[in-house]
Amino acid sequence: MNEIVFSDNSSVLPRSEFAFPGPLRDRLIGAILDGRKVTTTSLALEYEFRHEALPCAGQRSIVVNSNNDPVCVIETLEVLIVPLSEVGYQHVVDEGEGHATVSDWRRGHESFWRSKEMIDSLGHAIFILDDATLVVLERFCVVELLRSTTN
């Protein structure tokens, strides 16, 4: 697990990376910082493959941008594991990506999950995306900004 140590060495927090470095991550970070994005979705398979624990309520992590710079600290408020078919409209809206419908959101996420970057990150694991695929729904809030958002 990648961690960031604060300069006072008093605390260590895990990193949160939204998407992969590049334009999508930059848009997602912008949505987090302006309050539009307060939920996110991951494949449960991602945690299994990486041997990582699922997020849990109360957990804090440092969001990093495409340059791997710390941007903010988020706190997980709620975690649900549900079949892909059970992702609801409010979660979709709260992802802050502008999807008008659950089906539009699902098309976008399935495209991301089938991307070369995702396949590479999962070691070319073979997986099926269908209604029964388990996803991790996480609700979070920003608790601290770590850098100026103006340049």
Long-range CB contacts for residues 79-82, cutoff 8 Å, separation at least 24 = 79/54, 79/55, 79/136, 79/137, 79/138, 79/139, 80/136, 80/137, 81/44, 81/54, 81/134, 81/135, 81/136, 81/137, 82/134, 82/135, 82/137
Statement: residue 10 has pLDDT above 90 = no
Domain tally for the chain? 1
Residue 147 — pLDDT band, cuts 50, 70, 90? low
Q: Could you tell me the CATH number of the domain that includes residue 65?
A: 3.10.400.10
> Domain span at residue 38?
19-141
Residue 117: which residues within 8 A CB-CB, separation 6 or more? 20
Residue 124 — pLDDT band, cuts 50, 70, 90? confident
Residue 12 — pLDDT band, cuts 50, 70, 90? confident
pTM: 0.88
* Residue 137 domain flag: yes
Least confident of 43-47, 69-73, 125-129, 137-141: 125-129
pLDDT at 148: 53
* Residue 10 domain flag: no
User: pLDDT tens for residues 101-116?
Assistant: 999 999 999 999 999 9
* Residue 2 domain flag: no
